Amino acid sequence: MAGNDMTRRRFLKTAMAAGGAGILASCGAANVPAQGGQGGQGAPAASGAITLDVLNENWGDIYNNLMTVIGDEFTKANPDITLAWNFDPDWSTKLATLTAAGTPPDACVMRAAPLTTFASKNALTDLSPLLQETGLTREDFITPLYDGAVLDGKLYAIPGGADYFSMYYNKDVYRDVGLDPDKPPTTFAELLAHSKEVLQKDTAGDIQRIGFNPSAGFFPHWAYIFGGELYDAENRKVTANNPANVEALTQLSAYVKELDVNKLAAFNQRPGTFEAGNPFASKQSAFIFDGFWTYEALDQHAPDIDYGVTFWPTLKGTPADRANYMIDGWHYSIPAGSKNTEAAWKFIRYAFIDNSAEMGIKTVNGTCVRSQFQPWEE
């Protein structure tokens, strides 16, 4: 599987606001919530045991609750270590605050963009010597995720979950407008053509049903699909004005203009993809661009929906085009000053290296360890 050297699900969501490369950040907690919760205090540890403060992004109850599962499995294997989770929507600010106060979490989620900031300020532990003890190297991981954890030759995080994106399409909507439910678009041009057939507006011009809903956060994906890039790693230079990036944005902007950006903004006030009554589940939207974790939300909120899953459309619709796909994802780091570095590394190695496939299966995430792809896929 090929991919570009960029990472992160939530990075994408905020990327556009910062001109195509955003940061979703924040970490750790002194006041940590009970597992699966949003606040409060974790269960007290037994006498002499270690409680790890773990800071994670807030992915919503469905995915937060799944994330705690791998922590429970780790504690079963290591009864002297328990995890106290803190799911924070602004984890990077939390991490910065706790680090400045000298009370960083023991382990925390990390993304490539904020990693650069924290590592350059010596706020993260260099994990290179610890990884060397495992015998694994860069080539043993999904390389775009691994490379996103390296700064100046030092490894500041372990790849946690890889986000392999696909296109979900609503077969019910296809039938409603006379499109073949077994022939989703394979090219960008077909995607726009199908979307125009699906589009419904009322007499006031308000969108009642949409095809492709252009999200600013997914612009980096389209930039790469169009053959562009956003960063020249060798020269450490942002390449936002790459001609292919400009072409992608030009075509996306033209489509948004047809929809009317104000009408689109009003339509997007509806529930999100992972909430009950979302437009995809209620036939108000024909497409979702997201990862395999979407299954979980659709199973819970729309068990009767008829949908298909296929490759993200490209320019030519050929398998060769997929080399331009962007692999997003997240990492795990140990903040500098962690009071339980050894136990934190033990958890990170257990969850994201030794049991990466199990972690992916139980938490609905993509393994980043190549040797564990087969059990994860099965």
Would you state the pLDDT for residue 3? 44
Would you state the pLDDT for residue 34? 35
Kindly report the pTM of this predicted structure: 0.75
Place of tokens 């979950």: 161
Torsions phi, psi for 201 (to 5 deg): -125, 150
Would you state the pLDDT for residue 2? 41
Positive or negative CA dihedral for 116, 120, 121, 123? positive
The contacts of residue 216 (CB under 8 Å, 6+ apart) are: 15, 16, 17
Q: What is the mean pLDDT of each run of 10 residues along the chain (378 residues)?
A: 38 32 29 35 53 95 90 95 96 97 97 94 97 96 94 96 92 96 98 97 96 91 96 90 97 96 94 81 93 85 92 96 92 96 97 93 90 90
Would you state the pLDDT for residue 208? 96
Residue (of 96, 62, 40, 127) closest to 333 by Cα position: 127
Positive or negative CA dihedral for 318, 323, 326, 332? positive
Would you state the pLDDT for residue 50? 95
Q: How big is the chain, counted in residues?
A: 378
